[in-house]
Structures are given as C-alpha cells and as structure tokens.
Amino acid sequence: MVLLFRFLLAGILGGFRRRLRLLDESRVRFTALPHDCDLNFHLNAGRFVSFMDVARIELLARMRVIRKLLKRGWRPVMGGIVVRYRRSVLPFERFDIRSRVVGWDEKWFYLEHIVEKKGVFCASAYVRTVIRAKEGTLPAREVLALLDEAGTPSPALPEFVLQWRAAEDGR
C-alpha cells in the first residue's frame, strides 16, 4: 500500500518539477523502509523493481506525457526487464534512481534505471515498455508525435539492449 502512495506522489509531484525532453534523465530519491526489506534486512529484489516502476512514472510525468496518455485511455505497459544487483540498500538508507529513455524501435521504448546510494552503484535495469490502447499496442511513432518528437530518430541502442531484443524476439 505504501508503494501506491509513493507511486501517486511521484506522478503528481513529477508534473510540477522541471519539464524533461525525451532523452533527458530523471533522478528520484527514496528511503528504504523496514517493510521494503527482506529477511536479510536489505531492500528485496522485487522492491527494487517496484521503485523503478515509480521512477518511470515520475519520468513520464516530467515529460508531460502521462496526462495525455491517460486522457486517450492509453497505458504504459512494461514488457520485460533485465536487472543487475550489486550492492544492498539497508533499512532507512536513502537511494536515488536515475531513469532515462535509451532508444526505441517501431514497437518498444527502452529505458535504463540506475540505483545509487551516495553515488555508489547498487543496481541497474533495462526495461522495455509499450503504450497500449484498447485496440492494442500503439506504434512508437504515435507516442513520439504525442511528445512533439515526431520524426526524431532513436539513438543507437546499447549493444546489450540489441542482444536482449534479439533474444526476446526469437521466442
């Protein structure tokens, strides 16, 4: 339930923070509370991903796109994630999640999340997400047009993302 409040707060407050362009980076600060932790007394793996979800909504709010999506009945849907964990986040420690769009193809948007505490790397993830309407998945070009970025070419996707995309598309 507490993540729901964090989710709503990030979405609302993100709308009041400085507007971001499509390829700008967002940074959100969180505090790990005891109920976010597992029996090893550190932030559990699932909570890392949940906090990344909240950071992604904050990024969309700062891009000023979340309201536009919701008005049309469109929803961002995560289609996959690859996470790398390196350091623990302990109860009551503050940590940041840096989020950014790294590129897109005709269907998917690829994002990167980096978790740090006091500038020390803790975890990272690549996420692929689509925008869904009642009729189905929207092409990336429609979402780019909504962002006033129609015709903007995607940056070159990182090699890891290309390999991951090939593995997923081969299934």
Q: CA dihedral defined by 103, 19, 141, 82, rounded to 10 degrees?
A: 30
Which domains can be identified in the chain, with CATH numbers? 2-169 (3.10.129.10)
What is the mean predicted confidence (pLDDT) over 25-45?
Answer: 92
Confidence of residue 169 (pLDDT cuts 50, 70, 90): confident
Cα–Cα distances (Å) from 18 to 13, 26, 58, 62, 71, in that order, read 10, 10, 11, 7, 22
pLDDT of the residue at 170:
78
| Percent of the chain residues topping a pLDDT of 70 | 99
DSSP the chain: -HHHHHHHHHHHHHTTSPP--TT--EEEEEE--GGGB-TTSSB-HHHHHHHHHHHHHHHHHHTT-HHHHHHTT-EEEEEEEEEEE-S---TT-EEEEEEEEEEE-SS-EEEEEEEEETTEEEEEEEEEEEEEETTEEPPHHHHHHHTT-TTPPPPPPPHHHHHHHHHHHT-
pLDDT tens figures, 49-105 = 999 999 999 999 999 998 899 999 999 999 999 999 999 999 999 999 999 999 999
Q: What is the mean pLDDT of the chain?
A: 92
Quick check: 108 pLDDT over 60? yes
What confidence tens digit (pLDDT) does each residue in 110-129 have? Answer: 999 999 999 999 999 999 99
pLDDT at 2: 64
For residue 12, pLDDT over 90 is answered with no
* Residue 83: Cβ within 10 Å count: 15
Amino acid found at 19: R
Question: What is the Cα–Cα distance from 14 to 26, expressed in whole angstroms?
Answer: 10
The pLDDT > 90 percentage for the chain reads: 78
* pLDDT at site 171: 74
pTM: 0.92
Q: What is the mean pLDDT of residues 152-170?
A: 93
